[in-house]
C-alpha cells in the first residue's frame, strides 16, 4: 500500500475520534480544541495524499475510491455533529449532503460509461469554504460570529453553484447510451 493510500486510511481512522471529542461535553472547550486539531490534521492529509499521489505518480484505484469517500465522511461527520449540538441548521446540512450524494451518483454513472469526471474549480472553492466554515464553527468564538455566518452561507452558495455547474457540464452522462 502506497503512502497516499495510508494517509487516506489515517484520515478515515481520525473521524471517530473527531466525532467523540466534538460530542463529548465532559471535556468542555479543550475537547473542541482536540476535535479542531483532529479535523485540521485530517484535512491536511487530504491535501497531502493528493499532492504526493500526483507528484510521484502513485494514483491508484483504491485512492480514487477512498479519497473522496474519506473527504465526504469527514465533512458530513462534522456537519452532523453541528446539527446534534444545535450549532447549524439541519436544512443547510441536508443541502450540502444532498450535493455530495448527487455528485457521487453522477461519478458512478460516468464511471460505468468509462468517463472520468474530474473535480473543477467550483468544487475546490466549495471544499475550501466548507473546511473554513467547519473550523470556525468548531472554534465557536463569539467575536468571529459574523465571519462564521458569512462562511456558512458562502459554503452553502458554493455548494449549490458547484452542483449546478457540475450538472450543466456533465448532463450527457445521464443520457441513454452514455456520454
User: For the chain, what's the residue count?
Assistant: 179
Distance CA 162, CA 122 (A): 5
Q: What is the pTM of this model?
A: 0.91
Range list of β-strands (E), the chain: none
Residue ranges and CATH numbers for the domains of the chain are 1-87 (1.20.120.1760), 89-179 (no CATH)
pLDDT digits (tens), the chain, 179 positions: 999 999 999 999 999 999 999 999 888 889 999 999 999 999 999 989 989 999 999 988 888 889 989 999 999 999 999 999 999 999 999 999 999 999 988 888 887 887 777 778 999 899 999 999 999 999 999 999 999 999 999 999 999 999 999 999 988 888 865 55
Amino acid at each position: 500500500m502506497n503512502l497516499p493510500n495510508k494517509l487516506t486510511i489515517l484520515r478515515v481512522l481520525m473521524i471517530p475520534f473527531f466525532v467523540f471529542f466534538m460530542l463529548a461535553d465532559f471535556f468542555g472547550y479543550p475537547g473542541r480544541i482536540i476535535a479542531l486539531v483532529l479535523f485540521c490534521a485530517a484535512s491536511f492529509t487530504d491535501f497531502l495524499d493528493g499532492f504526493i499521489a500526483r507528484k510521484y505518480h502513485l494514483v491508484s484505484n483504491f485512492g480514487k475510491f477512498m479519497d473522496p469517500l474519506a473527504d465526504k465522511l469527514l465533512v458530513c461527520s462534522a456537519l452532523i455533529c453541528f446539527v446534534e449540538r444545535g450549532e447549524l441548521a439541519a436544512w443547510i446540512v441536508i443541502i450540502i449532503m444532498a450535493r455530495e450524494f448527487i455528485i457521487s451518483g453522477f461519478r458512478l454513472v460516468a464511471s460505468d460509461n468509462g468517463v472520468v469526471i474530474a473535480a473543477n474549480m467550483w468544487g475546490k472553492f466549495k471544499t475550501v469554504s466548507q473546511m473554513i466554515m467547519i473550523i470556525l464553527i468548531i472554534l465557536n468564538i463569539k467575536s468571529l460570529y459574523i465571519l462564521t455566518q458569512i462562511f456558512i452561507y458562502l459554503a452553502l452558495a458554493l455548494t449549490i453553484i458547484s452542483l449546478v455547474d457540475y450538472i450543466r457540464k456533465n448532463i450527457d452522462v445521464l443520457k441513454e447510451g452514455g456520454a
